[in-house]
Amino acid sequence: MSSPLLLLLRGIQSVGLRPTMDAVAHAVRSRWVEAKFADPRRPLRGLPLLRAFLRRIPSPPYSFPPPGPIVATPGPLRAVRQTDGGLECRFAHAVLTITPLAPDAVRVVWRRSAPAGDDLPAPQSPPQDAPQLSLERLTCRVAPEDGRITFLAPDGETVAEEAAPVAWTADGRVLLRWQTPPNAHFYGLGERAAPLDLRGGVYVHWNTDPRTYDPGDDPLYLCVPFLLTLHRDGHQACGLLLENTTRSRFDLGRADPATHVLEVEDEEVAYRFFYGPTVAHILERFTEQTGRHPLFPLWALGYHQCRWSYYPEARVRRLARDFRETHRVPCDGIHLDIHYMDGYRVFTWDRERFPDPARLIADLHAQGFKVVLIVDPGVKADRKYRVFREGLEKGMFCRYPDGKVFIGPVWPGNSAFPDFTDPRVRAWWGDLHRELVEMGVDGFWDDMNEPAVFGEDGATIPAPVRHAGIGEAPGLAPSDGCDHRRAHNVYGLNMACATAEGLARLRPDRRPFVITRSGWTGVQRYAAHWTADNRSDWPSLRQTLPMVLNLGLSGIAFTGSDIGGFEGFATGELFTRWLQMSVFFPFCRAHTYAFSPDQEPWSWGEPYLTVNREFIRLRYRLLPYLYTALWQCARTGLPIVRPLLLDFQDDPAVHSLEDEFLCGDALLVAPVLEEGVTARRVYLPRGVWWDFWTDVRHEGPGWVEAEAPLERIPVYVRAGAVLPTGPEMDYVGQRPWDPLTLHVYPGAEGAAVSLLYEDDGETTAYRRGAYLLHRFTLSGRAGGLDLFWETEGAYDPGPRRVDIVVHGVERGPASVEGAQAAEHLPAARCLRLVGARPGVLRVRW
Active site positions, annotated:
447, 450, 533
* Binding-site string for ligand MIG from residue 507 to residue 536, where x marks contact by CB under 6 A and - marks none: ----------x--------------xx---
C-beta of 644: minimal distance to ligand MIG in Å?
30
d(CA 666, CA 625): 9
Q: SS3 for 5? A: helix
C-beta of 588: minimal distance to ligand MIG in Å?
15
Rounded to the nearest 5°, which phi and psi values hold at 217? -70, 140
Which residue lies nearer to ligand MIG by CB, 296 or 308? 308
Sheet arrangement for strand 722-725: 722-725, 740-744, 802-807, 830-836, 819-825
d(CA 193, CA 175): 25
Angle between helices 17-36 and 46-54 (to 10 degrees): 120
d(CA 299, CA 623): 10
Q: Does 398 bind ligand MIG (CB under 6 A)?
A: no
Q: Which residue of this chain has its Cβ atom nearest to ligand MIG in the complex?
A: 308
**Among residues 308, 538, 585, 608, the one that binds ligand MIG under rule CB under 6 A:** 308
CA distances 693 to 675, 711, 717, 744, 817, Å, are: 22, 11, 10, 14, 28
C-beta of 595: minimal distance to ligand MIG in Å?
11
Which residue lies nearer to ligand MIG by CB, 220 or 629? 220
* Binding-site string for ligand MIG from residue 533 to residue 552, where x marks contact by CB under 6 A and - marks none: x-------------------
Which residue lies nearer to ligand MIG by CB, 374 or 470? 374
Strand partners, 86: 83
Size of the site for ligand MIG (CB under 6 A): 10
d(CA 621, CA 743): 12
Which residue lies nearer to ligand MIG by CB, 373 or 657? 373
469 phi-psi bin (left φ>0, alpha ψ -120 to 50, beta other)? left
d(CA 420, CA 429): 8
Angle between helices 538-552 and 572-582 (to 10 degrees): 10
DSSP 130: P
C-beta of 710: minimal distance to ligand MIG in Å?
27
C-beta of 87: minimal distance to ligand MIG in Å?
45
Cα 499 versus chain centre, distance: 17
Residues 6+ apart with CB under 8 A from 449: 376, 377, 491, 492, 495, 496, 516, 517, 518
Which residue lies nearer to ligand MIG by CB, 165 or 451? 451
Element (H or E) spanning 7, and its range?
Answer: helix 4-15
H helix intervals, 622-657: 623-636
Which residue lies nearer to ligand MIG by CB, 574 or 802? 574
Under rule CB under 6 A, which residues in 355-384 are in contact with ligand MIG? 374
C-beta of 42: minimal distance to ligand MIG in Å?
37
Q: Does 350 bind ligand MIG (CB under 6 A)?
A: no
* Binding-site string for ligand MIG from residue 210 to residue 249, where x marks contact by CB under 6 A and - marks none: ----------------------------------------
> Euclidean distance between the first and final Cα of the chain, in Å?
70
Which residue lies nearer to ligand MIG by CB, 320 or 338? 338
Q: Does 338 bind ligand MIG (CB under 6 A)?
A: yes
C-beta of 218: minimal distance to ligand MIG in Å?
17
* Binding-site string for ligand MIG from residue 418 to residue 447, where x marks contact by CB under 6 A and - marks none: -----------------------------x
Give the closest residue to 90 by CA, choosing from 125, 61, 121, 64. Answer: 121
* Binding-site string for ligand MIG from residue 102 to residue 131, where x marks contact by CB under 6 A and - marks none: ------------------------------
Which residue lies nearer to ligand MIG by CB, 444 or 689? 444
C-beta of 222: minimal distance to ligand MIG in Å?
12
Under rule CB under 6 A, which residues in 640-699 are in contact with ligand MIG? none
Binding residues vs ligand MIG (CB under 6 A): 308, 337-338, 374, 447-448, 517, 532-533, 591
